[in-house]
Structure 1
Amino acid sequence: MRIKIAALLALAVCGCAASAFAQDGGSASQGAVVNTSSASASLDGMGVKKYVLGPGDVLELRVYNETQFNGPLVVDDEGNIAIPFIEQPIRAQCRTDREIKTDIVKALAKYLNKPQVNLRLTEAKSRPPAIVFGAVRSPQRVQMMRKVKLLDVLASSGGVTDAAGGDIQIFHTEAIMCPDAEDLAAVPADTFKPADPTQVGYDIYSLLALKDGKPEANPVVRPGDIVIVQEALPVYITGSVRQPMSLYLKNNMQLKQAIAMVGGLVKDAKSEAIIIWRRKKGQAEPDKMVINFKDIQKEKVKDIELQAYDIVDVPDNSGSPRNIFRNFFLGGAANSVTSLATGLPLRVIY
């Protein structure tokens, strides 16, 4: 399991910087910290709203005029804290500092007259940051000091780019520490559960459903999650069209839509003999399909659904070859260039 998690983290570090640098002229967007909590939510000394504790978190205890009780309290692996001179440990996991303070006052009241207790969170170590990368404007680590949903995490990363495809993968590297109904409300579009225990399973959520505001597509992101916004794969439109270019393949794109997106055909285009070069697994050379686009326009035949890395070559009536770009597109242009990054920036969501 840890081997696979390490591989995912390495991928996040190695691939994200190049993706972010390539967008927006080489600079990542610096979106504002997302804060969707109610303004009336309780705050502790760190400004954390309703933070529930877990193993590794550190509290600072101060008891007025009773310095023997003062000092740091670390939540142990069992989820408890030990108070000096108090025999029974106090439960801390999945509770707020205010709830714990109430129990400490009760415990000390057996030995002290009206103890005055100050308790604050000094180190939040129980929640490893989530990692967000892929087709987002600012790939980064996200430290979550409260429950945060997928939409908030994407917003804190500057939102998705035009290259975003239809799927968002979420790899869970940590168990849910304090599960409740909200954690279980979301319904992934698909789930991968590996038979090999060394592999990490993941859930798939629909970006389109998330944009449509469907609550089942907006899960709570757990600490330690790896969120990957999948990039759409390219198709290439060349030849006798107004703006030859590559397009991102999204939402079952068809030939008619792709032609429209590049401005349509030019006057001398030979629309009855459009060529689609299509890669086939295990074949060195692509398949050649000749399409009568006029029949598609007249709805005599069904439109053609494009596939990743298709090359649509529109010839002209002069007979001059237009597929001179075929080898170029099937070679290096189909492969993105990446660079290494030393690390991702950290953003905290309070």
Structure 2
Amino acid sequence: MHLKGLFRSAWLMIGLLPVAPVAAQQATVPMAAIPAAAQASLSDGYVLGPGDVIELSVMGRDDYRARLQLQTDGVIELPLIGNVVAANKTVLQLKEEVRNRLKSGGYFANPIVNVTIATYASRYVVVLGEVASPGIVPIDRAYRISEILARVGGAKDNGGNMLTITRASGEEIRLNVKDIATGGGDKDPLVNAGDKIFLAEAATFYVYGQVNAPGNYKIEPGMTLRMAIARSGGLTTMGSEKRAKVTRDGREVRVGLDDVITDKDVIVVGQKFF
């Protein structure tokens, strides 16, 4: 190792050398920002990448402790053993490599190496929209979209029926939430690092007038005007299906009882004539 590298390692060991910043576009995820359920699911199987910050130590040796950030080349520099390629290795693999090099170099007889991840930055998906806990979700293995939804607490009651995955390449995939929950294969695809997952708010309709439960309701797939009236508690004794009017985009439109309603439709059910 060069003399400069030796000095750098020494400063890292005593915690006086700051971790070098990664490129501005890389997101960092402190452990405190990750929901407890997501933290619990992250294990030694996480694959390290540029930008991740790790804490590495040898048990029982306070003089061998460092906080390091993987740079763009994926290399970290450790005391005694020099450069180690950490990128594309799991935490377990990195532990084993450092242990073997310390042992084979004669530095320690049987070292127990600990590696923990302080900041996740390289492999994650972003989940936004009408889910219980939107945010950044680190991925430590191949996850299906249903698993990611489970990790963020699932859809809210006002979540829509369609979910969108936007790949890093710009490709968009639209999926039906019900199909995700019950299907497999292409209905519940694997996510990739860098994916953005968005669940829009559900389409709704408003209804008032001669119905038993006026209000704002979620539109189910294929919902007709007749079904919308039924969803709002049905007609009062004074109500008439024939006198139901629909306002769409600020103007009244002709909609039959078996025609499908659309987002933000306003339904007014009038009285019947005696």
Counterparts of 2:36 and 2:121, CA distance in 1: 24
Shift of 1:310: 1.6
Pick the aligned partner of 1:164 from 138, 159, 165: 159
Match of 1:62 in 2: 58
Relative to the length of structure 1, the TM-score reads: 0.56
Q: Pick the aligned partner of 1:139 from 127, 133, 144.
A: 133
Q: Say which SS state the counterpart of residue 315 (structure 1) adopts.
A: strand
SS of residue matched to 1:246:
strand
Greater strand share, structure number: 2
- Superposition RMSD in Å: 3.6
User: Partner residue of 1:248?
Assistant: 218
SS at match of 2:217: strand
Q: Hey, what's the Cα distance between the residues in 1 that align with 2:151 and 2:95?
A: 32
Q: 1:149 to 1:77 in 2, by over 3 A?
A: same
Partner of 1:118 in structure 2?
112
Residues 1:268 and 1:130: Cα distance change in structure 2 (over 3 Å): same
- Structure 2 residue 180 is matched with structure 1 residue 210: yes
Secondary structure at the aligned position of 1:165 is classed as: strand
Residue 34 and residue 114 in structure 1: after superposition, are their counterparts in 2 closer, same or farther (change >3 A)?
Answer: closer
Separation in 1, partners of 2:90, 2:191: 20
Q: Which has the higher contact order (CA 8 A, sep 6+)?
A: 1
What is the rounded CA distance, in whole Å, between the counterparts of 2:61 and 2:207 in structure 1? 78
Deviation per CA, 1:193-245, whole angstroms, max 9, x where unpaired? 4xxxxxxx543322121122334333444555443211112212222222222
> Contact conserved, 1:34 with 1:152, CA < 8 A, in 2?
no
**In 1: Cα distance, 2:255 partner to 2:243 partner:** 6
Match of 1:316 among 248, 271, 274: 271
**Residue 241 of structure 2 is aligned to residue 286 of structure 1:** no
**Number of residue-to-residue matches in the alignment:** 239
The answer to whether 1:151 aligns with 2:146 is yes
Amino acid across the alignment from 1:271: E
Q: Among residues 216, 220, 227, which one is paired with 1:257 in the alignment?
A: 227
Q: What is the percentage of aligned positions where both structures have the same residue?
A: 21
Q: 2:37 is matched by which residue type in structure 1?
A: V
**Is this contact kept in 2: 1:168–1:230, CA < 8 A?**
yes
Q: How far apart are residue 246 of structure 1 and its match?
A: 1.9
Write the letter of the residue equivalent to 2:92: R
- Cα 1:59–1:271 change in 2 (3 A) is closer
The residue aligned with 2:48 is 53
Per-residue CA shift, 1:36-56, capped at 9, x if unaligned?
96xxxxxxxxx8342222223
In structure 2, the CA distance between the partners of 1:290 and 1:150, relative to structure 1 (3 Å rule), is closer
Q: Give 1:272 deviation, angstroms.
A: 2.8
Contact 2:206 2:266 in 1 (8 A): yes
Q: Which residue of 2 aligns with 1:304?
A: 259
Query: How far is 1:306 from its partner?
Result: 0.7
Contact 1:277 1:312 in 2 (8 A): yes
Partner of 1:94: 88
Contact 1:134 1:231 in 2 (8 A): yes
CA distance in 2, matches of 1:273, 1:61: 76
Q: Counterpart of 2:14? A: none
Q: How many angstroms does 1:254 deviate by?
A: 1.1
Cα separation, partners in 2 of 1:145 and 1:132, compared to 1, 3 Å: closer
1:272 and 1:264 mapped to 2: Cα distance? 13
Equivalent position amino acid for 1:125 in 2:
Y
Give 3-state SS (helix, strand or coil) of 1:117's partner: coil
Alignment gaps of 5+ in structure 2: 1-24, 28-34
